[in-house]
Structure 1
């Protein structure tokens, strides 16, 4: 299993709920997406991000399919337009 975890920061905190809605809107629409979870941070700290996306895939190939999927691409582009920064970790669970 592959885990894909992305953290996002937003200068405009009003964007957090809209991004969460758009991310969760992908659920059930991408065959290779096995699990999706979105968490909103509740602590204020300089090192914290505002939102965390956790997704699961069966393989690296499935993660690549997701990256270019017609449902995911507009969500990704919207987030790029409103996020001030992001960080990502991808790893395999053995």
Structure 2
């Protein structure tokens, strides 16, 4: 099993926009079949170094990660939304022990 983690800074980090973005990310559940689990968190601290949203997805392996990156729902709905609302992002992919 592996985790795919992405932190996003949003152009508009209002609570309304963060909550809408959280719902878009969570909408992958049931729509992106290779995902084992998904968690989305919203930052409450709002410090200058904070990111606004964290996405954590569990997948079987790198092959599943590749399929996830190309999944039509992920690409056409979620990535399209994220590219519209995000200022920047960072990612980390690792295997669970």
User: Counterpart in 2 of 1:52?
Assistant: 54
The secondary structure found in structure 1 opposite 2:28 is: coil
SS at match of 1:61: helix
What is the Cα deviation at residue 51 of structure 1?
Answer: 0.5
Structure 1 runs (4+) greater than 4 angstroms displaced = none
Structure 1: gaps of 5 or more residues: none
Separation (CA, whole Å) in 2 of partners of 1:44 and 1:20 = 16
Give 5+ residue unaligned stretches, structure 2. none
Give the alignment's Cα RMSD to 1 decimal. Answer: 1.0
Give the deviation of 1:11 after TM superposition.
Answer: 2.4
Normalising by structure 2, we get a TM-score of 0.91
TM-score (norm 1): 0.93
CA distance in 2, matches of 1:31, 1:81: 24
How many Å separate the matches in 2 of 1:91 and 1:68?
Answer: 19
Matches within 5 A, 1:1-94: 1-14=1-14, 15-74=17-76, 75-94=78-97
